[in-house]
Amino acid sequence: MTSSYRINYQLRAHKRDPLIEFIKGLLLTPFVLHAKPRKPVIAPPTVPVTGELTNRRGSSGNNGSDDEKNDYQEEEKPMVDANLQRYLEIMKSVEVMIEEHRRKALKGVPEHSRLHRIVPSVASFFTPLPLEAAFLVANAKHSIAARRFVPPSFNDIRRVLNTAQVMAIAPTLRLITFDGDMTLYDDGTSFTENSPLIPLLIALMRAGLHVAIVTAAGYPGDAVKYEERLAGLLRRFDMEKLSEKLLERFYVLGGECNYLFRCGWKQNEAGQSVVGLTYIQPESYQPDEMLAWKHEDIQELLDVAEENLKRSVASMNLKALVLRKSRAVGIIPSDTGIKIAREQLDECVLSTQQRLLEYQQMSADTKPAIPFCVFNGGNDVFVDIGNKLIGVQVLQNYLGAAPGATLHVGDQFLSTGNDFATRSSCCTLWIISPEETEGVLKELAPLLPAESE
């Protein structure tokens, strides 16, 4: 019989990040012990008092209340300072644990680190993380140590980790990759010409970085479809008259890892020079392992996924359609305006993941396992051949960027998201909106080398 503990774990595990939960738990102790609530102010008595009593208490009759206010004013700053100091001590301790984990990983025994024993699922760290310094930056923005009723939250710690990663990787950064929806533009929309992110992306390219969008959207070899999604960005590149050398630092990798395009000047149908995308043949950048994936094996895997998705749609009465592509299959709302509940989407993801893993285990003796990705896209679910881990590794090999010099920015880092896998091959920033992407790029830009177009 399935225990309630196992049921609760299954429901919650995919919504939690173990490292962030660990840090949040550590910071809760000083919050409870040192972020004391404000002392109550005692109101003066409402009953009339005699002149003799008034003289003894003073003309106002509320000296006790003034004393309470003075006590609070005297204690408030030391209390905040003490709380900040304890938060910083904890962040420094985690910083040291991460560095020990990195040393053990370099020796090939990451499981021997103290951090791994406490958080067994902890990912790789390709740079040190200056968490103490990053916490000071976050505290200056969000007054974390001054809060008395709201403890350090998931988002507080996520932002601290982002800032620490930006500070650490800036001197060595060579390749930065981005998710599309909810990272560079709102879900289901396109890159607009007036996006505040465009000048920041151009600044990254002028600093000598390769910039790439790694997206699940898959249009086999069709540059026009991607140009439509990025029309505003490409028009701004055109308006800025960026050089060919600069444009060649911008890439789009679609279908997680399957379709690579390079930016540059090209002729349109009217014979005019415009900024667009050029498809790069797989043989020039895909490793032998990817080129060895057989078409019939891919289709058989997608058949199994499609069958499970159809069963999920039927069993939960979802208003959704199944969409099949050459290297992907998914479900999308059957009409505009329909919103599918997150829990239903997660059910489709987790059940399809389980079904595909069972299928690959049963057929392990007859055919190699093809990597796949099943993810919740916010209002849809897709199964893609390959994943963003492979996508980032392809770009690293093609452009000559090491894991410690690569940064991926995305919003889907829970286990049901398709950015999650990139943690194994590069440094990452977990954001939740294009506005947060703008914020982290503004943190990064001043730390990069001078422009070297």
**340 pLDDT tier (thresholds 50, 70, 90):** very high
pLDDT band at 269 (very low <50, low <70, confident <90, very high): confident
> For residue range 89-126, what is the model confidence (pLDDT) as tens digits?
999 999 999 999 999 999 999 999 999 999 999 989 99
Whole-number pLDDT of residue 435: 95
Integer CA distances (angstroms), 132 to 1, 280, 405, in order? 46, 43, 22
> Which of the residue ranges 238-242, 268-272, 449-453 would you say has the lowest mean pLDDT?
449-453
Q: How far is CA 136 from the centre of its chain?
A: 21
What local confidence, expressed as pLDDT, does residue 2 receive? 39
Q: What is the pLDDT of residue 326?
A: 93
The C-alpha angle with vertex 447 and arms to 444 and 449, in degrees rounded to 5, equals: 120
Residue 76 has pLDDT above 60, yes or no: no
Q: How far apart are the C-alpha atoms of 291 and 347, rounded to whole Å?
A: 32
The pTM score is 0.84
Residue-level pLDDT at 186: 86
pLDDT-based confidence at 78, cuts 50/70/90? Answer: low
- pLDDT tens per residue across span 387-421: 999 999 999 999 999 999 999 999 988 877 789 88
- 8 A C-beta contact, residue 176 and residue 409: yes
Distance CA 186, CA 385 (A): 25
The pLDDT, as a whole number, for residue 16 is 75
Pair of tokens at residue 198: 């465009």
Where does the pLDDT of residue 316 fall: very low under 50, low under 70, confident under 90, or very high at 90 and above?
very high
In whole angstroms, give the CA distance from residue 383 to residue 175. 26
The predicted pLDDT at position 43 comes to 57
Average pLDDT over residues 181-190: 84
pLDDT band at residue 364 using 50, 70 and 90 as cut-offs = confident
Q: Does 328 have pLDDT greater than 60?
A: yes
Q: Residue 286: helix, strand or coil by DSSP?
A: coil
Residue 302: which of 359, 252, 341 has the closest Cα?
359
How many Å is the Cα radius of gyration of the chain? Answer: 27
Q: What is the pLDDT of residue 366?
A: 87
Residue 5 above 50 pLDDT? no
pLDDT in tens, 129-158: 999 999 999 999 999 998 889 999 999 999
* Closest residue by Cα to residue 134 from 451, 447, 435, 450: 447
pLDDT at 171 over 70: yes
The catalytic site residues sit at 179, 181
Mean pLDDT over 280-299 rounds to 94
Local structure of residue 196 (DSSP, 8 states): T
CA separation for the pair 185, 407 (Å, rounded): 19
Q: Tokens representing 44?
A: 């003066």
Residue of 107, 112, 83, 108 whose CA lies nearest to 97: 112
**Average pLDDT over the chain, rounded to an integer:** 87
Q: Which residue has the higher pLDDT, 452 or 3?
A: 452
Domains identified in the chain and CATH numbers: 4-169 (no CATH), 175-290+390-447 (3.40.50.1000), 293-385 (3.30.70)
Across 75-100, average pLDDT: 86
Give the model confidence (pLDDT) of 10-64 as tens digits: 444 445 789 999 999 999 988 887 655 555 555 555 555 544 544 444 444 455 5
The predicted pLDDT at position 189 comes to 78
Calculate what percentage of the chain has a pLDDT beyond 90.
71
